[in-house]
Structure 1
Amino acid sequence: MTASIPPREESPLGSTPALVLVAHGSRDPRALNTVRALADRVRDLRPALSVHLGHIELNEPLLPDTLAQLPTPEAVLVPLLLTRGYHVKRDIPEMAAQAHAHTRVAPPLGPHPLLVETLYDRLVEAGWPTRTRRASAVVLAAAGSRDPESKLDTTRTARLLATRLGVPVIPAYASAATPTVPEAIRALTAQGHHRVAVASCFTALGRFATQCAEQAPWIASAPLGAHPAMARLVLHRYDQMMVTRASTAPELASA
């Protein structure tokens, strides 16, 4: 499953808005290295585009600081988040408003086929067999949210991954939602699936990703990280907002 993202170097409306990757932030230093590597992959794919990184919390630069230092008057914010939820709906728009920035906030990265492509490749890297057995199944481990739309997004990603793998995939959560990863593993085992893998639906390593991987009875995939498909997905979300910008108004809305 491959998707090609064509180059888009200049907006028909004038100066090209910057692309700002918005990461959550983590106390795990590996997370910062991962999102920086992803930003570098995006720059490699679109060299003429101004690409920046900002965080919601825990790491620098924070999003308002990034927005204050942009070389362009406009920006598209692409959340490095995998579902809709409080951060996408409230935190990021409010931080942009406080910075008095002219922005559009793109949808989260999931659900999308490019996300599923990454999940599949990470499972194969972890030892998932190219020839699956009927006893195999997968738990899609995600952070979790009280927002019902977040759970809908994770469920849809699980369905797309199930279609890609040809085995059952149950979404499970590290916090704020059910089932938990151990509960999902027990449910699949009770159904006769004795080779249960955990697919890590996290952008980068951190407490939740590590916790979920440790609960795997068989194999656990690495987080999504700076996979090439993730870089293409970031640019796809950016381009979606550029199309919307061109078709709806001569200028970006002030967040």
Structure 2
Amino acid sequence: MTALITLSHGSRHQSAEPVVRKLTEAAGSLLGVPTMAAHLDFTAPDLPTAAIQLAAVGETEAVVVPLLFTRAFHARLDVPMVFAEALASSGLQLHLARGLDTGPEVAEVLAAKVQAEAPAGSHVVLYSVGSSNMAANQDVVDLAQDVGRRTGHSIEVLPATGGPGRGGAGLIEISLQHRSVHLLPLFVAEGLLLEKVSTQLEKISLATGATLTASAPLGVDLAGVVVKRYQQAQDTLATSL
């Protein structure tokens, strides 16, 4: 039986780790396999430690699913580095799966949240972390367009980082142009960047006259995507044998 290890970015926000753990357990329950949640930064355990812990209880093999939406810095550099460390230190057979990505599976999850939670006629703001990698940013724009097609809502991307016009300032500008705005986080779990803007919604509404609503981070709604990434990694392994 091949275990599942999820690998999140990690966060200083106290509610992030329990959400990642619940997501990991939900995916593991669907797959019927043991699980462990690991993190790149801020939160324990890291990937090498998680792999060692699984080996200590008798596991011999695991698929690692990064809980990352884009192929930016963390996916291209940090993940391969810690994966190599875990492979060398744990003795487990490890297989690295694709991340969550910005493809149709994630678009479907986001669209379901919009349809269930966004007021009719509201302008949707897909709130992402943002990146210095332009290709990664374009992938998020493409994802937003897919969600818009699926839901019929107007939609745009607002990065949390990257300079003027981002984060709360950007949300104010958007709210001045629309009577109803729905914030749709492209976040696995709560984090400080998301909290910074979500705690400003009432003030922004009072300042702009717009009605602001918001969805929670995606959390366990991503379990099906994690399951698919695990299965894809297993299928790739099977065809290579």
Shorter-chain TM range is: 0.7 to 0.9
User: In the alignment, which residue of structure 1 is the partner of 2:239?
Assistant: 247
Relative to the length of structure 1, the TM-score reads: 0.79
Q: 1:209-239: per-residue Cα shift (whole Å, max 9, x none)?
A: 1123235441111111122xx1111010111
Q: Tell me the secondary structure at the aligned position of residue 238 of structure 2.
A: helix
Spell out the pairing of 1:89-100 with structure 2 (5 A cutoff): 89-99=76-86, 100=88
Counterpart for residue 37 of structure 1: 22
* Conservation of the 8 A alpha-carbon contact between 2:130 and 2:160: yes
Aligned equivalent of 1:169, options 155, 163, 180: 155
Corresponding position of 1:3: none
Question: Contact 2:115/2:151 (CA < 8 Å) preserved in 1?
Answer: no
Q: How does 1:183-202 map to 2 (within 5 A)?
A: 183=170, 186-187=173-174, 189-190=176-177, 193-202=178-187
Judged with a 3 Å threshold, the aligned counterparts in structure 2 of structure 1 residues 95 and 212 are, in CA distance, closer, same or farther, namely: same
Alignment of 1:1-255 (within 5 A): 16-47=1-32, 49-70=33-54, 71-99=58-86, 100=88, 102-123=93-114, 126=117, 128-129=118-119, 132-133=120-121, 136-176=122-162, 180-181=166-167, 182-183=169-170, 186-187=173-174, 189-190=176-177, 193-216=178-201, 217=205, 218-227=212-221, 230-248=222-240, 250=241
- RMSD of equivalent CA atoms: 2.2
Unaligned runs of at least 5 residues, structure 1: 1-15, 251-255
Number of residue pairs the alignment of both structures matches: 224
Q: Take 2:79 and 2:35, find their aligned partners in 1: how far apart are those partners?
A: 17
Q: Distance between the aligned counterparts of 1:244 and 1:179, measured in 2? A: 42
Distance 1:210 1:74, change over 3 A: same
Q: Distance in 1 between matches of 2:76 and 2:59?
A: 24
Question: 1: CA distance between counterparts of 2:79 and 2:2?
Answer: 17
**Where does the alignment leave 5 or more consecutive residues of structure 2 unmatched?**
206-211
Q: Which has the higher helix share?
A: 2
Identity of aligned residues (%): 30
Alpha carbons of 1:184 and 1:29: their partners in 2 closer, same or farther (altered >3 Å)?
closer
With over 3 angstroms needed to count, the CA separation of the structure-2 counterparts of 1:28 and 1:239, relative to structure 1, is same
